[in-house]
Amino acid sequence: MSLPKTIALIAHDEKKDEMADFARRNEAALRQSRIFATGTTGGRVLEACPDLDVTRLKSGPLGGDQQIGALIATGEVDMLIFFVDPLTAMPHDVDVKALMRLAIVYDIPMALNLATAERLVAAN
């Protein structure tokens, strides 16, 4: 089975290296999908895997989380991989919660950590 057509990637600052490593390890599988990513996360993923089809949106705190939420609400995202840093306070925490709520409402598979992301990618 192949990965969904469109995947959204987001990583909090302390998780961006982990996201880049995840993308590098799973590049062959991710190449099957179109990827939307928040600004800095998308840049880091493209540095690690320049051949991936990544559309960079705004940085999370500047509206990127909300842009991905809108893509989920309009049916344009099939999977969300969001590496959350639970140990750092986020000034835009309400946006993060709204994004997670939309993924739940629209029944989008969502990974919030590396272990779940690896399983979602492996299952497809």
| Count helices and strands in the chain by DSSP H and E runs | 6, 5
Q: What are the φ and ψ backbone dihedral angles of 97, each rounded to 5 degrees?
A: -65, -40
The answer to whether 9 touches 16, Cβ cutoff 8 Å, is no
Find out whether 75 is annotated in a ligand binding site.
Answer: no
Bridge partner list, 112: none
> Annotated catalytic, 65?
yes
Quick one: tokens of 12?
A: 């909090």
Beta-strand (E) ranges in 53-98?
Answer: 53-56, 79-83
Find out whether 43 is annotated in a ligand binding site.
Answer: no
Find out whether 63 is annotated in a ligand binding site.
Answer: no
Find out whether 88 is annotated in a ligand binding site.
Answer: no
**3-state class (DSSP) for residue 92:** coil
Find out whether 116 is annotated in a ligand binding site.
Answer: no
Find out whether 33 is annotated in a ligand binding site.
Answer: no
Catalytic residue, from 17, 53, 65, 93: name it.
65
Q: Can you say which residues are annotated as belonging to the binding site for substrate?
A: 12, 16, 38-41, 59-60, 92
Q: Can you say which residues are annotated as belonging to the binding site?
A: 12, 16, 38-41, 59-60, 92
Which residues are known to be catalytic?
Answer: 65
